[in-house]
Amino acid sequence: MTSSRYIALVDLDAFYASVEVLEDETLRGKPLLIGGSPQSRGVVATASYEARNFGCRSAMPVAQALKLCPDAILIEPKFELYKRYSNQVMQILKQESDIFQQMSIDEAYLDLSKKCTSQKNAIEVAFHIKARIHIDIGLPCSVGLASNKVVAKIACEYAKPNGFNVIPTGEESIFLSELDIRDLPGIGPKTTKRLNSVGFRKISDIANATPKKLTQLIGSSGDVLHKYANGNDDSPVSSERITKSISAERTFNSDITYNDGKEIDTLVVRLTNQVWESVNRKKLFPRTVSVKLRYSDFRTISRSKTVDSEITSNKAISDIASELTKQTLYPSDRLRLIGLTVSNFYTHARSSQLSFDNFLN
Ligand code: TTP
Ligand code: MG
C-alpha cells in the first residue's frame, strides 16, 4: 500500500453567472442565464443556481431555458472578463499548492500530499483556499477532498453549490457504492444503457462485477471503470502544461507532384500514425484536424476541419486529412512539405465531455 494522497478538486460554482453577479450586485439571488440570444439559436453556457431550480442547464437552447424560467435574465457571455477572473483564481491555487493541474477555466486539481502531514491538515489547507477565493475574489466554489482524483471530482459534484466534501481515506468505495453509475467519469448514455440492460444501476454493481465481465460488456474500458467503481485511481495530478495541439510533418528530399493523390494519402497515413501515438498516450481526443501544405515555391497554406464529436480513431484523422488535401490540391501541384496537426482536445479527465461510449461499437 502506497502512502496516502490528499487530492482536492476545486470548481467554481455557476462560474460565468457568479462573475456577472460580482460585476453587478443587483443580479444577486436572481435567475440568470448566460448564453447567446434565442433568435440566434443560442445555447446556455451556464445558469445561476436560482435558474437551475427551474430546470435550466448548460448546453440547453436559450429558448427552452426561457420557457422553463420566463423571468430569467439573459446575459451575453463576456469571455475576456471570465478569463481574467479565472486567472486570479488559478493564481491563488498555484500559490497554495505545489502541484496544481488546471482542468478548465474554472476547475483545478491540487495535490496537497507533500504539503500536508494528515488528511486533517489537508482539510485545513483546502478550507483556507476556499475561503481565500471567496474573500480575495468574491467567487463561490466547491471542493472535493479525497485520496485520488476520481473520488475528489465526484465528491465535489455532490458538494455543490458552495460546499466542501471530504471522503476519508479508506472510505472511497463506501462513498461511491450507492451512487448512480452515471456519476462515474466517462459513463455516457450508451454505456449507461448497456450497463442498465444487465441490471447495473449503482456504482457498487460495477464494483462487484468482475473486470472480465465488464470488459465483455463495454470493451477495454471495463478495467478502468472497475477500478474507479472501487474508489481506485492512481493517476497523478500533473502540472504539465496542457497540450493544445500535436503535429507531425515531412519535408521531401525532392518535391512531389500530387497526381492522383495516392502518394500523399500514404504520407498522410504515416503522419497520422505518428500523431496518434502521442494522442493515445496522453489520452487526448481531438476534434480538429489541420493539414499544412508547402508548395515548391514555398507558398504555405493550412486547411482545417472541426467535427462535432471527439475523434477516437487514427483512421478518422487520416480520412479527414486526405479529404482536406483532395479539396485543396490539383494534380499538377508540386509540394515540398506536408504537415498534420490535431487540436481542440477533450481530455480523458474532462469526463462530462468524453465518455467510454466512444469506445463502444
Ligand atoms: P462548469 O464548471 O461545468 O459549470 P458552472 O461553473 O457554471 O457550474 P457548476 O460548476 O456550479 O456546476 O463550467 C464552467 C463554465 O464553463 C460555466 O460557467 C460556463 C462554461 N460552460 C459552457 O460554456 N458550456 C457548457 O456546456 C458548460 C458545462 C460550461
Ligand atoms: Mg464550475
What are phi and psi for residue 21, nearest 5 degrees? -65, -40
Three-state secondary structure call for residue 6: coil
Give the residues across from 111 on adjacent strands.
7, 99
Question: Residue 2's pLDDT is what?
Answer: 52
What's at 322, amino acid-wise?
S
Contact 44, 35 (CB under 8 A): yes
Look at residue 183 in the predicted model and tell me its pLDDT: 95
Probe target for ligand 1 pocket from 13, 15, 52, 85, with the most ligand atoms within 8 Å of CB: 15
- Cell 463506501 appears where? 174
What distance in angstroms lies between residue 141's CA and the mean position of ligand 2's atoms? 7
pLDDT band at 357 (very low <50, low <70, confident <90, very high): low
Does any ligand 1 atom lie closer than 6 A to the CB of residue 20? Answer: no
| Residue nearest ligand 1's atom 8 by CA | 14
Between 57 and 191, residue with greater pLDDT: 57
More confident: 357 or 83: 83
The pLDDT tens digits for 101-116 are: 988 889 999 999 999 9
pLDDT of residue 282: 75
Identify residue 178 by its one-letter amino acid code: E
pTM: 0.73
**Pairing outcome for strands 107-111 and 300-306:** unpaired
Q: Would you say the CB of residue 13 lies under 6 angstroms from ligand 1?
A: yes
Q: Are strands 32-35 and 73-75 parallel, antiparallel or unpaired?
A: parallel
State the chain's mean pLDDT as an integer: 91
Residue of 46, 160, 164 best suited for mutating to test ligand 1, as the one with most atoms within 8 Å of CB: 46
* Direct distance between the N- and C-terminal alpha carbons of the chain, in angstroms, rounded to an integer: 37
**Which pLDDT score, from 0 to 100, does residue 242 have?**
64
